[in-house]
Chains A and B, each alone.
Chain A
Amino acid sequence: MIKVECITVRAGQKVLLDNISTVFEPGKMNLIIGPNGAGKSTLVKVMSGQLKPASGNVFYDGKELRGLSDEQLSRMRAVLSQNIDLAFPLNVLELVMMGRYPHFIGKPGPHDEQATEEAMRFFDVWEMADRNYMTLSGGEKQRVHFARVLSQIWFPVAGQPRYLMLDEPMTFLDIHYQFQFMHKLTDLLKDPELVVIGVVHDLNLAARFGDTILLLNRGTVLAGGNKEMVLTKENILKAFQLEPFIHQNEKTRSLNLFFE
């Protein structure tokens, strides 16, 4: 579980996050939505330890983030960020192996090779293992990074939760891979010790896959909870200045938003 307590982040005079408190439960698909500039990425940065907040605390299952070293964090928490560009050509296997760096000194062991292979097979990129990363398409690159990030926390550790944070992971994916990726994430969530937090733009995708949704607006929490509570006409109008038609299917409990 990740607990965020009274987080405030400022950049100069501008308040990016204003006294935010929330909780992300393990075993659930926690999705963060909100308009541009709402503070979604900033919140992920604070939780991942990349950005120090002006005030407030983040707790990883009761342990204060400040008390965890970069090395300790890197063995249990993986982050996928937006737009990663590689400075030098590298083959795909080597790139995915970077995910295992926190786990070995010197050369990778059989354990690490197993993790990378399994993670790569899981995201259907094992066939690309020998290809040069630079020659991949945007979507292929994205899937390679999924494999890398997941290989970092591939093996469950007893009594030790794992944390996966995704900042707009779907950017370069077509609708097929978006759904495939979300289904795979849902599969991974069978592990009750895994905490998944993802920032998504597509409200319908959030409605389809999110167990809990956090709606941010101007650095504050506008709504949080299950999709019926968050994706209401009032909330969407307030955050996005667009009025949605919300179609709810009582039988399948699915929820769709349309805009005109």
Chain B
Amino acid sequence: MGKFSNRYIGIYPILLVVLVITTLISIKFGAITITFEDIYAALTKVYRSRDQLNLTERIFLDIRLPRALTCIVVGASLAMSGVLMQALFRNPIVEPGLIGTSSGAALGASLYFVLGATFKIHAGVWTLPIAACAGGALSTLIVFFLSRNKIGGNRSVVGLLLTGIAINALFLSGVGFLSYIARDPQARSITFWNLGTLSGANWYSVIIIGTSSCLCMLWALRYTKHLNALMMGEEEALFLGVNIKRLQLTIIAINVILVAIATAFVGVISFVGLIVPHLLRLTRGSDNRFLLLGSALLGGILLSLADLAARLLLMPAELPIGIVTSIVGVPVFIILLRKNNYYF
């Protein structure tokens, strides 16, 4: 008895401790090194006016801390979305960047950047996240329905990836067109979007991405059991009482919100959603409840490390974080492809 539930418990505290340590390291190092005394001093003065703080304390409170927290929530969002996508498509090499969600969100965001100013469309602080969500939802649904086999209703990996490539190309060329017609500052921000960057992180992005990732996690936790059943295929899941259509639409909706809101603020960051669930599967197994909670923590850890690398490698200049995750992620993707014998 109890054999079942104790299997996964032990790993959460370890991940949590590692997350705190990496976050502290990520805060400490950068163009200016912040000591732990500075951090403590700044934390005691949180509620004071910014004028009373010295430069290091202000860098900590207004730049480093929101950036570190954004890293955590973005990493969690992308990694959880990887878990959900992989479970939904029943395939370990699926990733939000590969099946169009990110590029759709990028197109939605670019449309807002270019046209929003021109046509004076502005619905408050939520305009950008909503535009990104709409784009992400559109591209994901297109890939989801086009990759469906007409006869069996199953998705082949090849069909899925090829459809993803086509839709990605379409949406990214849309982004390219927008940056071509855009004025210079707009074009520059679109370019940054495509590469992914956390340099724009602030408290506003922490709060919005944090809220969306927490709500989506709670929402998705209700469906981890259904997603586990889906591992055996749609038929078997049906026999276990799972309403497949409703499950698919719900999971896609959760995904789109997770990825699009993160993408709206930090741009396209690929491969986090691929690597994190894979690493967790190596440690304990594939139970989706464990993968979802574990990914939220490990995603934050890995993205904090990637961000640290992005800031330190070319100091004082900064590398877009999407480049760092791609450099690490592509080899992992190829190893996964070879290991699972998906030959093309």
Enumerate chain A interface residues (CB-CB to B < 8 A).
48-50, 69-75, 77-79, 81, 84-91, 93-94, 97-99, 101-102, 106-108, 110, 113, 129, 152
Query: Shortest beta-carbon distance, B160 to chain A, in Å?
Result: 13
A87 in contact with B91 (CB, 8 Å): yes
| SS of A interface (majority) | mixed
In the complex, what distance in Å separates the CA atom of A79 from the CA atom of B287? 22
Neighbouring A residues of B92 by C-beta, 8 Å = 87-88
* Residues 222-275 of B contacting A (Cβ, < 8 Å): 225-226, 228-233, 235-236, 238-243
Tell me whether A81 and B1 are in contact in the complex, defined as CB-CB below 8 angstroms, given that A74-B241, A89-B286, A102-B240 are known contacts: no
Neighbouring B residues of A81 by C-beta, 8 Å = 235-236, 239
The yes or no answer to B3 lying at the interface (CB within 8 A) is yes
Apart from the given pairs A72-B241, A107-B5, A113-B2, 13 other A-B contacts in the complex at a CB distance below 8 Å: A69-B241, A73-B241, A75-B241, A85-B233, A87-B90, A87-B91, A88-B281, A88-B286, A89-B285, A90-B287, A97-B4, A101-B226, A106-B225
| SS of B interface (majority) | loop
Query: Shortest beta-carbon distance, A8 to chain B, in Å?
Result: 21
A84 in contact with B232 (CB, 8 Å): yes
In the complex, what distance in Å separates the CA atom of A89 from the CA atom of B290? 14
Q: Of A69, A94, A99, which contacts B285 at CB under 8 A?
A: A94
Neighbouring A residues of B230 by C-beta, 8 Å = 87
Contact-size category for B: 20 to 34
Neighbouring A residues of B233 by C-beta, 8 Å = 84-85, 87
Q: Shortest 6 CB-CB distances between A and B: which pairs?
A: A74-B241, A88-B286, A87-B90, A71-B241, A102-B241, A79-B239
Tell me whether A48 and B239 are in contact in the complex, defined as CB-CB below 8 angstroms, given that A87-B231, A97-B4 are known contacts: yes
Q: What are 19 inter-chain pairs, A to B, with CB distance below 8 A?
A: A48-B239, A50-B238, A74-B239, A74-B240, A74-B241, A81-B235, A81-B239, A85-B233, A87-B91, A87-B92, A94-B285, A98-B232, A98-B240, A101-B226, A101-B240, A107-B5, A108-B4, A129-B3, A152-B240
In the complex, what distance in Å separates the CA atom of A113 from the CA atom of B6? 13
Tell me whether A86 and B231 are in contact in the complex, defined as CB-CB below 8 angstroms, given that A50-B239, A70-B241, A102-B241 are known contacts: yes
Tell me whether A90 and B3 are in contact in the complex, defined as CB-CB below 8 angstroms, given that A84-B236, A102-B241 are known contacts: no
